[in-house]
Chain A
Amino acid sequence: MKEPRWKEAEFEEIEYEPTSIKELLVEMKNISELMVDLAYSAILFNNSDIAGEVKYLEVHIEKLNYQIRIMAMLAARTTEDAEKLSGILQMAEATKMISGAAGDMVKLLSVKLKHPLLPRILKESDEMIKKMVVGGDSAAVEKSLPELHVASETGVRIIALRRGNRWFYSPKDVALKKGDVMLGVGPEEGLEQLDKFLKGKVGVLE
């Protein structure tokens, strides 16, 4: 059996890359928000694909935290420096707490819940969440989401797009590539339609 992505990622080497603190903070913010959104969504929609993405992001946060710790240590020259930098370490620690909680939350799906916690929501809610992958044969390749009129044709809102290890949080301007992973929320029909289109099974979105 193939190892899940997050497990593979866990053992990857981490290298220190100098990144601006602002970028790191914004990345931490984006990932934490996305994780909280996805973790609750995974539980509400009983979706283990989404749970897998949460696990993966949890590993990603660990790596970011590592970068932040190194950066903070490099920047501290005096006691005063260290005092002022302790805030950033506190943020890194809190981010880990949030991501850990999101990770624990999705663990409930695989261990504790034999059946959906909220079967009603699955039956009656018109919204679902789905993970989709862009196939090589799809007409979506090299196009952006607004160009494809994804929202107006399918009613699906893409909440995040992942390309390998990189996440795009507002993927409007991104030209899609083969292998891109998309997380969409919307009506079941719309999601099915979009999934087929992205797999290249249908040529146009309508």
Chain B
Amino acid sequence: MSEKEAEEMLLELKERAELMVDLAYSSVIYDNINLAEEVYELEEFIDVLNDKLQRLAIKDVKNEELEVNDALAMIQLAICSEMIADGAREIADVELRDVELHPIIKESILESDEVFVRAVIAPSSVLKDKKLKDMELASKTGMWIIAIKRKGSWVYEIDKNTVLKEGDVTFARGVREGIEHFNALMEGTEEEI
């Protein structure tokens, strides 16, 4: 594998793993089953990526492009990534189980002002095809988009120039009061930002 390939894979692993950990804890803390399901999907993706990384490392040793020690380090790195992903899945599993959480956990969740939502951009949404900076979405609704899932792939680098597209699944964190407004904008039932 070229260094470029290895670097890209590592960065991808890093971002997915971080997102997974974030979503997994958030699914429990905000009691949101949709987030937990996303974690399962991400875990499958990380498994595929890890498998690819390990195969490449072995192939490169065979072609004498990589030293045994370096390849071993790569493989172990992939194993560590897998463990992180498995850990996140275990956490999401707590949310997905039938058993209700203990009241002391529930209460502490309800007390919290911070929420985490998942919303899909409807064809009629006013947010469609606009840059985030032009809408001042965060300051108007109190909800920050932290990641977007677009046609099965993830966008994590959200900045003011990010454009929202129809069908995008957005993940946002913010204040409880902001949910309704945010969801209505996403669904297209509210036009005023």
CA distance A53 to B93 in the complex (A): 29
Interchain CB contact under 8 A, A22 and B69: no
Within the complex, the shortest CB–CB distance from A87 to chain B, in Å, comes to 4
- Judged by DSSP, the binding face of A is helix
Cross-interface CB contact of A43 among B21, B77, B83, B105, cutoff 8 Å = B77
Interface residue B58 (Cβ < 8 Å from any Cβ of A): no
Cross-interface CB contact of B112 among A22, A41, A113, cutoff 8 Å = A22
Cross-interface CB contact of A90 among B4, B22, B76, B93, cutoff 8 Å = B93
Interchain CB contact under 8 A, A97 and B77: no
Interchain CB contact under 8 A, B21 and A36: yes
Cross-interface CB contact of B22 among A33, A100, A101, cutoff 8 Å = A33
CA distance A86 to B83 in the complex (A): 21
Interface residue A172 (Cβ < 8 Å from any Cβ of B): no
Interchain CB contact under 8 A, A98 and B7: no
Interface residue B159 (Cβ < 8 Å from any Cβ of A): no
Interface residue A40 (Cβ < 8 Å from any Cβ of B): yes
A residues neighboring B (CB under 8 Å): 20-22, 25-26, 28-29, 32-33, 36-37, 39-41, 43-44, 75, 81, 83-88, 90-91, 93-98, 100-102, 104-105, 108, 112-114, 117-121
5 more A-B contacts (CB under 8 A) besides A86-B99, A90-B93, A98-B87?
A36-B84, A75-B102, A87-B101, A104-B83, A117-B73
